[in-house]
Amino acid sequence: MVIEAISPQLIPVWFYMYGGVAYGIVAAISFLISFFSFKLYKTSSLKTNLILSLSFLSLGVAFSSLLAASLYTYFYIPYFQDDVNLGFLNRNAFNLYYLTSLISYVLFSTMYLPGKIKNKFFAFYVPLWYIDWTNFHILSIFIMGYVLLMNFMNCYKKRNFNSYLVTFAFFTIEVFHLLLLFIPFDVSLYLAAHALLSVGFGSLLIMLIRVSVK
């Protein structure tokens, strides 16, 4: 289901509430991860913790934009007669989601790129205003695939519980985008993908809390 690309009348009203709940849970966990990551950065001064904090802060903003659009659409039913306003709202909410999510994923990748490549990485320019639903998820799968690979390698070396939690979190991000590509075949995958993502983010939050209390 590509919410921003179709008429609101084609989407059941209840979907916006369930979608809003899913967005809200993921956004809340993202902000908590950002908080605990920044807390670790203050005590350790490790740049990776700061990048992690900024990345999840960006993801929190991304899902908050979808949450706001979904709740607005759900509670203002009379506006369903005005396709232009709702279309404009959802389209811009998703555009903000695309932008902030990709910023987050690029930040994730900088934590694992070699120094020489990292210094030149931001020279690459992506025209974000041309990115649509499918291209966004394909690009996200590509970027997060690299991040996941690096985490698998790190997990294989360390083989401790914290590394498993981190790897699982990035694994769920990868699967999340893969599932959303198949929404045209089964709409229920939309909510399932977000439920899986919240579980993955929860595992990363658990890891950060474990490290913080030590």
Q: What is the mean pLDDT of the chain?
A: 80
Quick one: what percent of the chain has pLDDT higher than 90? 32
Residue 55: what pLDDT?
93
Burial class (CB in 10 A: 0-12, 13-18, 19+), 188: exposed
Segments making up each domain of the chain, as ranges: 7-212
Spatial separation of the C-alpha atoms in residues 15 and 108, rounded to whole Å: 31
What integer is the mean pLDDT of 172-190? 86
User: Under CATH, which architecture does the 7-212 domain have?
Assistant: Up-down Bundle (1.20)
Tokens 């908590």 belong to which residue?
A: 32
pLDDT over 90 (residue 135):
no
Residue 123: what pLDDT?
43
What integer is the mean pLDDT of 62-78? 82
